[in-house]
């Protein structure tokens, strides 16, 4: 029998699974792994759901938690053996990419995102998630104007990086 918090928690995880996974995957540059980050996010949501005051949408709050967890993992990468909690009830199954081309495109995107400053990285991921500037501002603690200015600056940088990598990939193939 669930109490209200457990029900809210369960629904939160199921409804936001894909978003959490996308962000974790973007941060999962070795030694970090997607499944470990996902697990950490789930644990964090579990621990701090009682702290959610309802001032924003639950999904907005979950984005913030996910980014904070990934940010901390990125800056203090712990070897797997030192992890204190392993959750056996979360099962991971990597799926073969539809094409090598798709896989390469994703790797390029992730590499280009990874060279951005921390705050810019968060902003562009949230932009890719399709969130409005106002929501991105809520999550990052910036103003909506500041987010808009940064997005205008980050997008061309990201595109330039990807096109450069694609051009190099095409040259290498020839």
Interface contacts to another protein, rule CB under 8 A: 2, 6, 9-10, 13-14, 17-19, 21-22, 25-26, 34-35, 38, 42-44, 46-48, 50-51, 64-65, 68, 85, 87-95, 97, 102, 105-106, 109, 128-130, 140-143, 146, 155-156, 158-160, 162-164
The tokens for 122 are 């968060």
Within 10 Å of residue 73's Cβ, how many Cβ atoms? 20
Residue 20's nearest CA partner among 59, 60, 66, 55 is 66
SS3 (DSSP) at 52? coil
Minimum distance of another protein from residue 68's CB (angstroms): 6
Minimum separation from the CB atom of position 79 to another protein (A): 20
Smallest gap from Cβ 134 to another protein, in A, equals 15
What tokens appear for 128 in the block?
């890719």
User: Which residue, 31 or 142, has its beta carbon nearer to another protein?
Assistant: 142
CA dihedral 132, 153, 138, 15 (to 10 degrees): 50
Question: Smallest distance, Å, CB 102 to another protein?
Answer: 7
Compute the least distance from the CB of residue 92 to another protein, in Å.
6
Contact 62, 45 (CB under 8 A): yes
What span, in angstroms and rounded, lies between the C-alpha atoms of 124 and 14? Answer: 24
Q: Report the candidate in 77, 100, 89, 79 with the shortest Cα–Cα distance to residue 39.
A: 89
| 79/94 with CB nearer another protein | 94
């Amino acid at each position: 029998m669930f109490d209200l918090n457990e029900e809210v928690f369960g629904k939160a995880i199921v409804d936001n699974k894909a978003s959490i996974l996308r962000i974790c995957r973007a941060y999962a540059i070795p030694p970090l792994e997607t499944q470990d980050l996902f697990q950490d996010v789930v644990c964090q949501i579990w621990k701090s759901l009682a702290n959610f005051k309802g001032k924003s949408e639950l999904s907005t709050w979950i984005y913030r938690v996910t980014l904070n967890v990934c940010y901390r993992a990125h800056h203090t990468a712990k070897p797997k053996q030192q992890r204190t909690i392993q959750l056996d009830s979360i099962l991971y199954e990597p799926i073969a990419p539809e094409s090598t081309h798709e896989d390469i495109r994703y790797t390029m995107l992730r590499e280009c995102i990874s060279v951005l400053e921390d705050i810019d990285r968060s902003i562009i991921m949230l932009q890719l998630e399709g969130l409005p500037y106002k929501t991105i501002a809520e999550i990052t603690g910036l103003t909506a104007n500041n987010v808009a200015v940064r997005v205008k600056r980050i997008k061309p940088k990201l595109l330039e990086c990807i096109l450069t990598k694609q051009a190099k990939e095409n040259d290498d193939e020839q």
